[in-house]
Homo-oligomer: A and B are copies of this chain.
């Protein structure tokens, strides 16, 4: 199925870019990793490596954005959401055998291979992700300026932790900072906005 081949090539490229960066990812590796025949690469991506790198990075960014959106929406508080986000990143990192990473970090560190579209995409991704955190923090009652600083700190911390965990081949630094960040955000929230502990026997919907 032509469509299945295209999707497999995109997924393989995203994994390779996260693991080895823009310059470290070759077309032959994309073909080997996706099991696609050489002809299908230029059929689906006439622009070659740059085109597939742009599509794979955009796909990976969108997945992260959707995931982040859902995590913030489902958590009891943004403090808990940040902890969950970090802990689940740790899980994916160890499951991937320490090849997982942020889709934008390697693009930035490889000077985006000089591809302007990749550069813009990375900026937009940071805007979107810090924006989601900031909005959640403001909605939880944290003053705007502090919410701005905390959203940058959360974004910077997870970027750095993915590097540190990969280097050590150990996710415990992510788990340690997950708790630290949860506590910091909780402490920044006004008392009234923090989720109350339920009395035993009291139902989750009982606000009396």
A-side residues, CB < 8 A to B, are 19-24, 99, 101, 104-106, 108-111, 113, 119, 122-123, 126, 146, 148-150, 152-153, 155-161, 163-164, 166-168, 173, 176-177, 179-181, 184
Contact = CB atoms under 8 A, between A and B. Distances in A.
A108 B153 contact: no
B180 A110 contact: no
Contact of A159 (B24, B159, B168, B176): B159
Given A123-B167, A123-B168, A180-B149, A109 B21 contact: yes
Given A99-B111, A126-B168, 12 more contacts: A20-B111, A21-B106, A21-B111, A109-B110, A123-B167, A146-B180, A148-B176, A156-B156, A156-B161, A156-B164, A159-B160, A159-B164
Of listed A104, A110, A113, residue having the most chain B CB within 10 A: A110
Given A105-B109, A110-B23, A153 B181 contact: yes
Nearest to A127: B168
The 7 closest A-B pairs by CB, nearest first: A156-B160, A159-B160, A23-B24, A23-B23, A149-B180, A160-B160, A156-B161
Nearest to A172: B152
Contact of A167 (B19, B108, B146, B158): B108
18 contacts: A21-B21, A21-B106, A21-B109, A23-B23, A23-B24, A24-B110, A24-B113, A99-B111, A104-B163, A105-B163, A106-B110, A108-B166, A109-B109, A148-B176, A149-B179, A152-B177, A156-B157, A160-B160
